[in-house]
Each structure stands twice: as structure tokens, then as C-alpha cells.
Amino acid sequence: MNLLITGATGFVGSRLVDVALDKQYNVSAVTRSAALPNQESNYNLQWCIGNLSSEFDWSKNLTGIDCVIHCAARVHQMQDDAQDIQAVYDQTNFHGTLNLAKQAVANGVKRFIFISSIKVNGEQTEVGTAFQPIVNHPPRDPYGISKYKAEQALLSLAEETGLEVVIIRPPLVYGPGVKANFQSMMKWVSRSMPLPLGAINNQRSMVYLDNLVDLILLCIEHPNAVNQIFLVSDDHDISTSQLLRKINQLSNAHCLLLPIPMSWFQVIASVMNKPQIAQRLCGSLQVDITHTQKQLNWQPPVSWEQGTLETVTDYLSNKK
């Protein structure tokens, strides 16, 4: 089985390449740079150059490929000063994705796995409710909109051509080497600084990196994955305060979590013109993975406790 994996040097893509090679897949790993990553030589691994412009010619890279796993994307950023943010995201995440998929069809690729985002569903849920594969309200966030457009275009392409499309929408992905918000929380805790986050009673779904990779690899050949949308998580929701306490415990740190009412924290963030930070720390975002579990007979192989342990241990061992 021959795979083409885009975003192969990214957080998800690099781990996916490693595990796919361990499982004896032949991997064509796509990078944007001519400077290839430092990696042990592997007979089943071939690096190739590609980009997500709408004009890029993928034909050489797609020769003999059975399944494309499309991890690459223009990622969401909290601050972006481009004049037309939507056009910037669409160029890569929508037009670039559709160009790759159409050329996959032309080159005889059987299956196309698209790593989308839970932002297609929205930014948050009410506690006790969870996102489903069906999108009730189109997203408003430029990144989420671009991913939603790509999903719709891929499903239409599947109907028109017979390409087998699989869409996976992860929430926050964490694991060894994680950056962004999860890394920031580990940094705060490891410094044993007091944090006003001891009374955040939200609920968040997350997915450990190896759980996501396990699901992606299952979807390569599973007959029930065809033209389906799958939500994914560790099947365990947790509050921000609970997560910080767990990180505190695993780090052997002495971080004091002050039980400041969540409403106070939100007001302070608003006054500081940082409402998006309050939303990410205080808001709930839960996903229902029942469809994924039943359709594929899948369970996340790594518990959130083990995943958090692996993540914190890696952070502490590499902390400067």
C-alpha cells in the first residue's frame, strides 16, 4: 500500500509518517522545502516537494499512490494582519486541497483522507452538549470556513468521480512535542507561578496524538470509512482546572491554582481586550465520537491519563 502524506514535517504528519513506516506502508512524505528533514534512511520512505497552491502539479508525486492523507494546512492563528483573511485561508485550505484531490483522481488514487478541524462545527459548546458530524450552523471563523468549504468540495468530488473520501475533524491534539496552548499550560505550571484558573468548570474534548494517528491509519483501508465524517477524541472530557491539576501532579510542581470565579476571569480578559484567551481557557468544546466508534468499531487505544503523562514527561525532559 502506497501512501502520500502531506504536512509530513508537522506535529501530526511527522508522527503519522513514523507509525506508517513501522506498519510497513510505503510512504511518500511531502515537504515544502528542498532541505529534507534529518531522518534515518528507510527503504519505504521517499521525500518529495509539494505545495498547496491551486496550480501546483502533483502528477509526479501521485504516480502509484493508493491513498492520500492530507494533513497540511494553513493553521489557525489568533492574530493575523492580512487584509483578506478569508482569501488567505481559502487559497491553501480550500483551493489547494481541491487541486490535490482532483489530481489524485486523475492519477488513479483510490482514497483521500482529509484531516479537517473541529472548528468546522464551531468554537464552543454548552456544557453537556457535544458536536456531531452534522454541521448545524456553518462556521464563522476564517480557518473553519476554509476547512468547511474543502469538506463540501471533497464530498461533491466523491459523488462525481468515485473517489473514496474520508474526513476526520480533530479537536485540540496533544502529545510529545506539542506547542501552542497546551505547551503554554505546561510552562505556566512548571514555573510554579500562581494561576487564577482553579475554578474553571468547563468541559473540553482533546485527542492524544497517537490516538489520532491510530484512527487515520484505520481509515486507510476500512470499508466503512468511505465518504464518512468522523469526529475524534480520547473519549474523556476534562475541565481546564482538572487538566492543570494533572499537569501539576505529573510535573511535581507547586503551582497554586487560585479559585477565581470563571466570570471574573472572563471580565478581566475582556477588559484587557483578550476575550479569545478567556474563550479558549473557559469555554467548553465537547465532541461526540459515537459515530466513529460504531462505524469503525474503534476505541482510542491510549487513555487520556497515559497521554498526558507521556506529554508532560517529554516536555520536562526537553525543557530548557
Q: What tens digit of pLDDT does each residue of 196-227 get?
A: 999 999 999 999 999 999 999 999 999 999 99
Task: Say if 65 falls within a structural domain.
Answer: yes
Average pLDDT over residues 226-243: 98
Check whether residue 119 and residue 197 sit in a common domain.
Answer: no
Structural domain that includes position 71: 2-169
Check whether residue 51 and residue 119 sit in a common domain.
Answer: yes
Check whether residue 156 and residue 192 sit in a common domain.
Answer: no
Task: Say if 231 falls within a structural domain.
Answer: no
What is the C-alpha separation between 151 and 170, in angstroms, rounded? 14
Q: Does the annotation mark 143 as catalytic? A: yes
Cell 515544502 found at = 32
Q: What is the pLDDT at residue 35? A: 66
CATH number at residue 190: 3.90.25.10
Whether the predicted pLDDT of 36 surpasses 70: no
Question: pLDDT tier at 81 (50, 70, 90 boundaries)?
Answer: low
Check whether residue 52 and residue 106 sit in a common domain.
Answer: yes
Instruction: List, as one string, the DSSP characters of 244-280.
Output: HHHHHHHHT----B----HHHHHHHHHHTT-HHHHHH
Tell me which of 79-88, 107-116, 153-162, 242-251 is least confident: 79-88
Check whether residue 126 and residue 188 sit in a common domain.
Answer: no
Check whether residue 91 and residue 126 sit in a common domain.
Answer: yes
Question: pLDDT tier at 39 (50, 70, 90 boundaries)?
Answer: low
Task: Say if 220 falls within a structural domain.
Answer: no
Q: What is the pLDDT at residue 128? A: 84
pTM of the model: 0.95
CB atoms within 10 A of CB 105: 17
Check whether residue 160 and residue 23 sit in a common domain.
Answer: yes
- What torsion do the CA atoms of 121, 282, 289, 164 make, to the nearest 10 degrees? 40
- pLDDT tens digits along 272-307: 777 777 788 889 999 999 999 999 999 999 999 999
Active-site residue identified among 25, 43, 89, 143: 143
Check whether residue 165 and residue 21 sit in a common domain.
Answer: yes
3-state secondary structure of 112: strand
Check whether residue 202 and residue 126 sit in a common domain.
Answer: no
Task: Say if 258 falls within a structural domain.
Answer: yes
